[in-house]
Structure 1
Amino acid sequence: MGDKWDGKGSMYVPQDLLPVYRDKVVPVADIITPNQFEAELLSGRKIDSEEEALEVMDMLHCMGPDTVVITSSDLPSPQGTDYLIALGSQRMRKPDGSTVTQRIRMEMRKVNAVFVGTGDLFAAMLLAWTHKHPDNLKVACEKTVSAMQHVLDRTIRCAKAQAGEGQKPSPAQLELRMVQSKKDIEDPEIIVQATVL
């Protein structure tokens, strides 16, 4: 739906589609993967702390989805400004009808480039990994984010090589190297660990 650049949020889609996403799409979704800006739009609440992010994820759970992953946030990382924080929450029903919630946090290294399609790739991989590990959000997210990091690292290396020494890669050169990253997508080496909250 949108994202933040330089601290300012902007929608990719017309504003009048927000109620459609919030009131029609989210309630029938099993998994949603909003970034912080999108989570704020869907919930109507600002996120300025990890505690507020967890509250927003609970609100989003109440709207329908069992799995909510805020794929990137502006929250400060203990590792410094070169890292992004992602948060995940998964509600599971026990045989007795009660629910249990798993929550995780991940810190991933920023890649200094603008890519197209990262949200779609993240959502597709999370769907696949949660299908393989339905009761382990930690493992599903570690595999998803690690694979993303491999794809982005390969993409930026290839783009810089194509652009040449000291030149900024063009958007065409920054096209995600998914075919070249097939092995990393199918069986990623875990380079990003999740912390259970």
Structure 2
Amino acid sequence: MTRSRNPVIPKRAKKVLSIQSHVVHGYVGNKAATFPLQTLNWDVDVLNSVNFSNHTGYGSWKGHSCTGIEIEQLFEGLEGINMHYDAILTGYTHGASALKSVGSKCIAMKKNQPNIVWLLDPVMGDEGQLYVSKEVIPVYREILSHRLVDIITPNQFELELLLNIKITDLNSLRSAVKLLHLEFAVKYLVVSSLTLTAEALGLDSSHNGKMYSCISSMDSDKLLFFEIDRYDSYFTGVGDLFSALLLDRLYKSGDVVDSTNQVLSIMSRVLYVTREICVKDLGKEVNAKIGDFKTMKECELRIVECADLYAQQDCDYAPFEL
């Protein structure tokens, strides 16, 4: 028998602690983040803030949310075996008690290991609809007040909730961004989706029907924007995948403009693959609606099928300053 060659020893994986929701079926929270991060050479330790049969957009689900005590017990177990991480990713946590526990433990980790990169995605709602307990809003503010979060990825509605500011135009957006950097010393702010119209941003009618992502750095007065296509269908897990990929890119490069551009480019392709597979399977395009489990099931992100996309470094968008 011929002796097989020893494999080339790969680069050691970085370790990330991902604290988000878990669903048995579908791709949101840790289900949307873990596999893509693993393909990018991250060793992912998963702490599930909820354990549901499926995400709540289906209209019905079974399962339970972790209490603050349960989360603290899990952290104590990790501390007992002396776990250390290169990065922390925190996402959906439903209740105030659980979020307080997540916050206090992550703050302690960051103080003990200042080089940890912490990306906080304050998952609270979208387009005016809150889908967590309203008591989590002041808890997020308290966590941020420790000035230890490196990257934050709210959508427009979540940014408004955090700052208690209504964003209606470019000037109010500037005020909100400036306040966030001053109050919380967050190094990078990436507003994953703005619902402001082109007119509110001072753009002409050729930009109507588009969405925007906005980025800001604490050490710069510039506000940069990316114009992205708006989809009629409702896709869940998009923000969770976005934040996971952004953490990877920013950790490795430190360039928030290129990192966001790459991630937006990948997200566009993931959504394209998801829609095209749905059309191929059903012979027609399906637009998912909240509460309709049939359309929701068909429009789950194709996380596994898109495995080859996550390492791509294409920048398909042209950032512009306003």
Return the TM-score normalized by structure 1.
0.85
Q: What are the equivalent positions in structure 2 for 1:1-197 lying under 5 Å apart?
A: 1-4=124-127, 9-25=128-144, 27-62=147-182, 63-77=184-198, 78=203, 79-91=206-218, 99-134=219-254, 136-165=255-284, 168=287, 170-197=295-322
Deviation, 1:185, is 1.7
Counterpart CA distance in 1 for 2:214 and 2:286 is 34
Kept in 1, the 8 Å contact 2:152–2:190? The answer is yes
Q: Which moved more, 1:14-23 or 1:179-188?
A: 179-188
Kept in 2, the 8 Å contact 1:115–1:176? The answer is yes
Kept in 1, the 8 Å contact 2:275–2:285? The answer is no
Deviation, 1:84, is 0.1
Deviation, 1:25, is 4.6
Counterpart CA distance in 1 for 2:233 and 2:287 is 9
Counterpart CA distance in 1 for 2:160 and 2:306 is 32
After TM superposition, which residue ranges in structure 1, 4 or more long, deviate above 4 angstroms? 166-169
Structure 2: runs of 5 or more not aligned = 1-123, 289-294
Kept in 2, the 8 Å contact 1:160–1:168? The answer is no
Q: Which moved more, 1:11-20 or 1:152-161?
A: 152-161
Counterpart CA distance in 1 for 2:287 and 2:143 is 41
Q: Which letter does structure 1 place at the counterpart of 2:215?
A: G
The RMSD of aligned alpha carbons is: 1.9
Identity of aligned residues (%): 28
Kept in 2, the 8 Å contact 1:102–1:137? The answer is no
Deviation, 1:196, is 4.1
Q: Which has the larger Rg?
A: 2
Aligned pairs, number: 185
Q: Secondary structure at the match of 1:162?
A: helix
Counterpart CA distance in 2 for 1:153 and 1:82 is 18
List per-residue Cα deviations over 1:113-169 (Å, max 9, x = no partner).
Answer: 1111111111111111112221x2211111011111111111111122223236556
Q: Which letter does structure 1 place at the counterpart of 2:259?
A: A
Counterpart CA distance in 1 for 2:307 and 2:178 is 34
Deviation, 1:71, is 0.9
Kept in 2, the 8 Å contact 1:104–1:137? The answer is no
